[in-house]
Structure 1
Amino acid sequence: MKQGKVYLVGAGPGDPDLITVKGRGCLKRADVIIYDHLASARLLTYARDDAEIIYVGKQQGSHTLAQDEMNKLIVEKAKQGHIVVRLKGGHPFIFGRGGEEAEAVAQAKVPFEIVPGISSAIAAPTYAGIPLTHRGYTASVGFVTGHEDPTKPCSTVDWSKLATGVGTLVILMGVKNLPKIAEKLIAGGRDPKTPVALVRWGTTPQQTTLVGALDTIGVQAEAARLTPPVAIVVGEVVKLRETLNWFEKMPLFGKSVVVTRAREQASELVARLSALGAECLECPTIRVVPPEDWAPLDAAIDRLDSYDWLVLTSVNGVSFFFDRLYKRGKDVRALRDVHTA
């Protein structure tokens, strides 16, 4: 049996085009792909047709698998000799429990690699037009979780120090606890009128951004009924969104487009629509395959000189016809006396 291997791959913040080149390559080679809720489903189009795809997503109040069971699944698939990609939203080692999964794999003595991804802590503010540092505002930034391990006896986040210790503060998984977090930051010395931005589903066509002040943002979030995933940005740099908001102004931002072309032919159209800000859902309604019997086409090719016209009714027809023409030892010169349409 061949030796298996695990790749913990960062899927990026939501926009599938933001995955790394190495991460994409891992998906193309994988025998098994184990992916979570925050990994774009479009990334699965890179998988081989025979790859096993397993969803282990976690959402608030709903977990497909407990973390221990997930760790066992990853190890089990690798020990069966498979190349396993554990596809994780964002960066595997930033608030994603990737460290725990890597430990489980290492303890099982299974070879592994970590493929970094772009964290939403950086990408979501960027797509909202908010630079995390700026010479005119701040030279420091801090990242913190707003949802710690509930089994811990006490918090290890010192909000009083974070309140004034960094210029820009980015909080992930904190929207549920936002009112309490805001209170702690203000109590620690942060100006109550500090600008705050809440970026939900950053980098995707579903992105929404809510801006307010530290002392009122909790009430605003509750009124807007914001639910995860949300990146919270606290700092004066939020003011720059007024002039740097680029993504939400794209022509097709917020629009969803279903592309029904064959998968191998959809990429160019999807790329163009995505470049305009649209969300593209690839739902191929046809599959292009060779005919079971080439004899009728071969017979027609052998007597091309007896035809007045050759009519090809689709791009696929053109591709298959010329491929077969060349395999029959002929080329375009065989069409010299034939009108083509």
Structure 2
Amino acid sequence: MTARNTGDDQHQDGRATLEQLVRWRRDVRRFRTDPVPDDLVERLLRLADLAPSVGNSQPWRIVNVRSRDVRSAIVRNFEAVRGKSAEVYAGEQAELYYRLKLAGFDAAPVHLAVFCDRNALQGHGLGRQTMPETLDHSCACMVTVLWLAAREAGLGLGWVSIIDPAEVSKALDVPPDWKLVGYLLIGWPEEEHLDPELQRHGWQPRTPFEARYSVAGSVPPAVETKAAAKADSVSGSVVLVGAGPGDPELLTIKALKALQSADAVLFDDLVAKPILDFVRPGARMIDVGKRGYRKSCKQPDINAMMVSLAREGLKVVRLKSGDPLIFGRAGEEIEACRDAGVPISVIPGVTSAQGAAASLKVSLTNRDHARRLQFITAHDRRGHLPSDIDWSAVADGAATTVIYMPKRTLAELTEVALVHGLDPKTPTIAVANATRPDERVFVSTVGAIATELEAAHPDGPVLVMVGEALRYATVRDAAEQAEAVLAALQVLPGQP
């Protein structure tokens, strides 16, 4: 069973699509030391052994290098060859060469040496009389299949080529007719990226597809000047679109038009699924959700993907829950596009504070109780409570404070706010899944809201609103809401 759109989204059963595997295939040089089960390694190798080969020759020969002594010899060989290779570079490029991590010998738990048997009898020589190098090509096909299979299993693969083939063959004592194709390192990646490491560290950016494609009789494929000109041109664009807090009817007309004309949509995990139904059929759907405190897509990868897709000439929509400019990391994405010369625009959306206030029918800026409305985030880049919050502003009884992303640090935040003078009986409302069918409202006080929210443990995005203006909030069941407010504030009917 597959998802609605073809592209980088996952299958509905959780498996990655082919396009996703290709985009995440990246050469890995930073591994965790966790072992890879032998049965998993064997399964991957058996899958790779099904790779196509010219004349069904299957010329690859794979040696699993488990001996520590042999590994050490190969590492010494790598270091020696790497030093000689550096001699061809000068200046800044030489310095960068030495800074690059070009191998992962120290941590990768699986080492495989791949050879091509130049005298393979399998296939009876079909296709080799005119192009004997097809044996090497067939081995490369096998490695690619292994690469994709490893990625599908969550593993990373590094292909080491800075190595002396003769020394590796000698260390492994293989037949003289075996030619080294590559030394492969496999393991659990320490980190995952969508862009090539050499591009990320400034060695060489990827060039556009057009630099490697031509039609017979037109532009020769090897004209580097024209390819370079193509590399500097950008025919696509990026637009940051606010999806609102969840109710699809809160989308702006401009946002709707952008979704219906998009070639690719990079959407956050918090974007309500009904909103995705408005995307043009056939557009690439790419889930880049940054899931709090869980393994997720990193911001530099999202930036790189936006730029890459735009350089393919696509209309790219970066779809964000709420408003892109309110705690949505829009600044980093705008800067990445500007630095790459990619045209970028922003379509604002209804932020979750506005959606929640509308559901509660409360004015966050009630002039009798609030002279200021302030939005704060409850966690920093590390997921901790920010150390630079202006606590005097939070404790101001004449302000309405909306706290974004508070689940993990709300208890700490409210405790510090109370220490700085915030009245513990200040009306406080938490809203989970604002404007959505499963919206949940928790009416309390600032002194008790953290405990109540922890006990309820609501799913989905949550925000917390604090301030006297909230005393007049209403929800769908007015009677139930009134009782909750009275109970939370310990006020009896008839009292002023």
TM-score (norm 1): 0.68
Structural mapping, 1:217-236, within 5 Å = 217-236=449-468
How far is the alpha carbon of 1:102 from its aligned partner? 1.1
Partner of 1:281: none
Secondary structure of the corresponding residue to residue 203 of structure 1: coil
Give the drift of 1:67. Answer: 0.9
| Partner residue of 2:417 out of 156, 161, 185 | 185
Aligned to 2:250: 18
Q: Which amino acid is 2:324 matched to? A: P
Query: Max radius of gyration: which structure?
Result: 2
Structure-to-structure mapping, 1:153-164, within 5 angstroms: 155-164=387-396
| 26-35 vs 133-142, which moves further | 133-142
Query: Residues 231-280 of structure 1: CA distance to partner in whole angstroms, max 9, x if unpaired?
Result: 10101122212xx324x68xxxxxxxxxxxxxxxxxxxxxxxxxxxxxxx
Question: Secondary structure of the equivalent of 2:464?
Answer: strand
Among 23, 29, 34, which residue is 2:266 paired with? 34
How far did 1:17 drift? 0.9
Q: Does 1:245 align with 2:475?
A: yes
Please give the per-residue CA displacement for 1:175-219, whole angstroms capped at 9, x wherever unaligned.
221111111111121111111100000000110011111112221
| 8 A contact 1:12–1:18 mirrored in 2 | yes
Structure 2 runs not aligned, ≥5 long = 1-209, 211-233, 479-496
- Is 1:48 equivalent to 2:280 in the alignment? yes
**1:173 alignment partner in structure 2:** 405
Greater displacement, 215-224 / 101-110: 215-224
Q: Does 1:100 align with 2:340?
A: no
Rounded Cα–Cα distance in structure 2 between residues aligned with 1:154 and 1:21: 36
CA distance in 1, matches of 2:312, 2:398: 47
Tell me how far 1:131 sits from its aligned partner: 2.0
| CA displacement 1:59-113 (0-9 Å, x = unmatched) | 2233441111111111100000000001011111111111111111111000110
| 1:109 is the counterpart of 2:349 | no
Relative distance call for 1:129 and 1:152 in structure 2 (3 A) is closer
Identity of aligned residues (%): 37
Structure 1 segment 257-268 matched on structure 2, within 5 A: none
**Any conservation in 1 of the 2:239–2:344 contact (CA below 8 Å)?**
yes
The answer for the alignment partner of 1:326 in structure 2 is none
Confirm or deny that 1:214 pairs with 2:446: yes
Could you list the structure 1 runs, at least 4 aligned residues long, displaced by more than 4 angstroms after superposition. Answer: 151-154
Instruction: Indicate conservation of the 8 Å contact 1:9/1:86, yes or no.
Output: yes
Q: Shift in Å at residue 125 of structure 1?
A: 2.5
1:103-153, CA deviations, whole angstroms, 9 ceiling, x for partnerless residues?
A: 111110001101111110221122133321213322321110011122899
**1:55 shift after superposition:** 1.1
Instruction: Give the residue type in structure 2 aligned to 1:95.
Output: F
Distance 2:323 2:254 in 1: 13
Equivalence for 2:221: none
1:32: how far off? Answer: 0.6
CA separation of 1:126 and 1:154: change in aligned 2, threshold 3 A: closer
Name the amino acid aligned to 2:268. D
Closer/same/farther in 2, CA of residues 41 and 150 from structure 1, 3 Å limit:
same
Aligned length: 246
